[in-house]
Amino acid sequence: MSTESSESATSPPAQSPSAPSRRTFIATTSVVGGAVVASGLVAGPAPLGIEEAAAAEASPSSRVALTVNGRRHTVTVDNRTSLLDLLREHLGLTGSKKGCNAGACGACTVLVDGRRVNSCLTLAVRLDGVEVTTVEGLAKGDQLHPLQQAFIDQDAFQCGYCTPGQIVSGVGCMQEGHTGSAEEIREWMSGNICRCGCYVKIVRAVEQASGRK
């Protein structure tokens, strides 16, 4: 009897060259699946149409005509624009300062039809037809407003950041007739904060400009 084993008894069955192995199948599906996930992460959700995106980004705007320091201006602004941003960003009048942007410091004070307002809290679209005076509009050419000169004479400023709002508020205070005493001036100027603490000299400057000193 022959001791040689037949090939069919000891060798594994031949694999069809066209059938993928288990290892090849797993590797292929992993690569394909990862590519699909990656492409989804990169591409993200389908963007809105151009017209829909433009409509979503657009915000309501209005046309406003107002007089600032004697000059007539007509501008189209976002309805959310404050008077302060209109002055600084649209008209280039940067004298009015953005301090707290919450109406608490008075650095942005301007006169609207002669009345003191915090321009950071005032919507520009509500001021159609009004007259606005900023610190740039107080002087007449090279001649300073009496209160501007008094601030220099009394050395009523240090860093100077609050000074434009202090001066405009002081002018309003004088026009309103609230300069009868130092105490009255302090009361009616209390909405203007000076972080350098020049309050005594500010009151003296208002007294000087109003003829009390």
Residue 15 has pLDDT above 60, yes or no: no
Low-confidence winner among 1-15, 39-53, 165-179, 193-207 (lowest mean pLDDT): 1-15
**pLDDT value at residue 1:** 45
The whole-model pTM stands at 0.73
Q: Which amino acid is at 132?
A: V
Find the mean pLDDT for residues 15-37.
55
The answer to whether 205 and 153 have CB atoms below 8 angstroms apart is yes
**pLDDT value at residue 13:** 52
Please indicate whether residue 69 or residue 40 has the higher confidence score (pLDDT). Answer: 69
Q: What is the pLDDT of residues 168-194, one digit of tens each?
A: 999 999 999 999 999 999 999 999 999
Q: Render 4-70 in DSSP notation, one character per residue.
A: PPPHHHHSPPPPPTTSPPHHHHHHHHHHHHHHHHHHHHHH-SPPPPHHHHHHHH---EEEEEEEETT
What is the distance of C-alpha 12 from the center of its chain?
77
HSE-CB at 144 with a 13 A cutoff on CA atoms is 11
Distance (Å, whole) CA 42 – CA 82: 39
Q: Which amino acid is at 203?
A: V
Q: Which amino acid is at 83?
A: L
State the burial class of residue 130 (Cβ atoms within 10 Å of its Cβ: 0-12, 13-18, 19+): middle
Give the other-Cβ count within 10 Å of 101's Cβ.
15
User: Do β-strands 61-68 and 71-78 pair in parallel, antiparallel, or remain unpaired?
Assistant: antiparallel
Please indicate whether residue 20 or residue 150 has the higher confidence score (pLDDT). Answer: 150
Q: What is the pLDDT of residues 42-88, one digit of tens each?
A: 455 555 556 655 655 678 999 999 999 999 999 999 999 999 999 99
